[in-house]
Structure 1
Amino acid sequence: MSRKTTRAPGPISDDDAELLERLGRIAGTVDPVPDDVVQAAKEMFGLRDPMAVLMETVDQDEALAAVRGKVGPQMHFFEYGTVAVDLEVSTHEGFASVLGVVTTPPSSGDGSGVVSLQTSGASFDTAVGSDGRFSFVRIPAGMLRLRIELPGEPRMTTRWVDAGA
């Protein structure tokens, strides 16, 4: 029977640091990270927004996808506090379309605000309609996320969503 032990967080010992450095050199020699992965990571790091809060993924249609396959649009649902965002992402011939609605409490005003759709290579902005709706069409398919700015709320972002071709 094996026992798991946990170590208190804090600085690692010199021996552990040396071991990790040696293991890193070995991994870098035996199985280096491909150049395109390094480039993509650098591009994604440039899109970080430390002042934004990350919206929580509430639910996805993954259970349905397991039954019916990934046919048709993907549905994604996000929340932060009293703000909710529902997304429908569809792809066709290398392009994605995103339809969404931002739901806020009635006391927070008319729902005006700006939604930015970000990809690794571009950013697209649109106004949130008075009914909370927004859309983006003919966006290059691939990884995307939303940044939502609403009056009286912190800037919010969603996790990255794969709108692959």
Structure 2
Amino acid sequence: MSSDAHEVHVLLQDLDGARPQWWCERSGAGPPRTVLELHVPPARGAVWIARHWASDRARESGVPEDSLPDIELLTSELAANAVVHGAGGEVEVRFWYDSGCVRVEVSDTSAGRPRVRHPNPETPGGQGLRLVSMLATEWGHGRRSGGTGNTVWFTISI
């Protein structure tokens, strides 16, 4: 989790255990910063849920409509990687919009490091991080805070 997220407290919205859970964290200092977090099981449907959840949060935050397709695509790519390479653990998605910048982080429980690949263009798959590197303003990855796994993130300037 980024240092921004460490400056907030949690207001938990507890949903039925069979559904994804998310909550809102709000910073106490400076201008309001809202960090939203979603937890989904590592199943194929998680990609769809993460994509639409991030898009809905962006829309609710006032992100312009023309930025939503990139947010959806990049969130889908990171969520798909987390499901495929995440070693079967829960997938966490975090979203925030602050000062004209959207940031999305996706965490999983994989042991391997994320890397941009250069696969055969005629073979499906393997293009996710390449797309992220092409469309995001910035992106990166690091070890998952507080546990095993990785966090991959991107930002898009609005």
Q: TM-score, normalised by structure 1?
A: 0.32
Structure number with the higher helix fraction is: 2
> Whose Rg is larger?
1
